[in-house]
Amino acid sequence: MTPVLTQIEVQEKLSVQDLIAERDLTRGDIELIFSLAERVKRSPGAYARALQGKQLAMIFEKPSLRTRVTFEVGMTSMGGYAVYLDHAKPRLGERECIKDIARNLDRWVHGIVARTFSHESVLELAENASIPVINGLTDLLHPCQALADFFTLEEKFGRLKGLRVAFVGDGNNVCNSLMMLAAKLGVSLRVATPAGFEPKPEMVEDAQACATGTGALIQFFRDPVEAVEGAQAVYTDVWASMGQEYAAHLRAQVFAPFQVTENLMKAAGREAVFMHCLPAHRGQEVTDAVIDSPRSIVYDQAENRLHVQKAILLLLLQDNHS
């Protein structure tokens, strides 16, 4: 079946060649991703050959379930092919310099997804490749996750502007990405972290500068109960990210008051949903009673990774659609 692509889907493109950081995306870019993701989700068969003949290289330094499966399934379900490159050992740049890796892949494939520890590694890939590079997660940012999260919120509430989202836990890469997208979309984000675990100051400054033009409000709290009051969504993540396992025991003690429990959810609005990017450490950052409750939309978020990333692939790899 020939893919049924509307005129806007063929002609419209993102304003960027690569998807590295949320700050690079315009409001129009984000709306375009969401609009196409909704169409792809509604009519996946219409895009069954949309990326026929396209190849995607997937460079992963870190373990993955959602990112790997959704990008692989996304490519193959649209007629393309994905090649998985395991760089857990050696890490990217150890056996061969990143510049040479990028320039080789440039000759063989049509796009790169990179899931790395260092954000600079993804930047270097993009600098040296003429093909699109997609950030599949770095220690600094997780843009594909945040895009899927806000797409999910828009599905649930029918709007984004004016929503109040509370993030409870570590000011990590997911928090950084949520801050910037919230700022761009007019969503108020209330971040509760223990002292010393706030997001990086430069990330806060960027988000707050962006928020001045959209009506978003980025606020910070020490008390998780205060942060979630009146929120439509309560979001948390693991207390020790990949690469921080050595500090897991200490972090478990520091973050214990920030566990998302049924009592904490009661402090949020009646319509509040629970969100988590997964994988979850049940009994640590969230209780079973919350993650398995009807208020939990964690699996909706996970599903929407597929649809949002399919839209991203279409928009970045569409030049040679037949």
Q: Alpha helices, DSSP H only, in 50-172?
A: 66-77, 98-108, 119-128, 143-157
* Sign of the CA dihedral running 238, 74, 176, 156: negative
Helical packing angle, 27-42 and 143-157, nearest 10° = 70
| Nearest to 138, CA basis, from 37, 218, 243, 33 | 243
198 in helix, strand or coil? coil
Q: Which residue is it, tokens 């190849």?
A: 55
| Active site (annotated) includes residue 305 | yes
Cα 204 to Cα 300: distance, rounded to the nearest angstrom: 28
Instruction: Exactly one of 237, 284, 301, 307 is catalytic; name it.
Output: 237
Instruction: Exactly one of 68, 110, 305, 307 is catalytic; name it.
Output: 305
Instruction: Exactly one of 144, 145, 301, 309 is catalytic; name it.
Output: 145
60 and 136 Cβ atoms separated by less than 8 Å: yes
| Active site (annotated) includes residue 277 | yes
| Active site (annotated) includes residue 159 | no
Instruction: Exactly one of 144, 175, 210, 277 is catalytic; name it.
Output: 277
Instruction: Exactly one of 66, 87, 142, 190 is catalytic; name it.
Output: 142
192 and 235 Cβ atoms separated by less than 8 Å: no
| Active site (annotated) includes residue 144 | no
Nearest-10 Cα torsion for 32, 201, 240, 301: -20
Three-state SS for 6-58 is CHHHHHCCCCCCCECCHHHCCHHHHHHHHHHHHHHHHCHHHHCCCCCCCEEEE
| Active site (annotated) includes residue 164 | no
55 and 83 Cβ atoms separated by less than 8 Å: yes
Instruction: Exactly one of 66, 68, 87, 115 is catalytic; name it.
Output: 115
| Nearest to 134, CA basis, from 318, 316, 301 | 316
Q: What is the DSSP letter of 318?
A: G
Instruction: State phi, psi for 263 to the nearest 5 degrees.
Output: -65, -40
| Active site (annotated) includes residue 295 | no
Report the catalytic residues: 115, 142, 145, 237, 277, 305
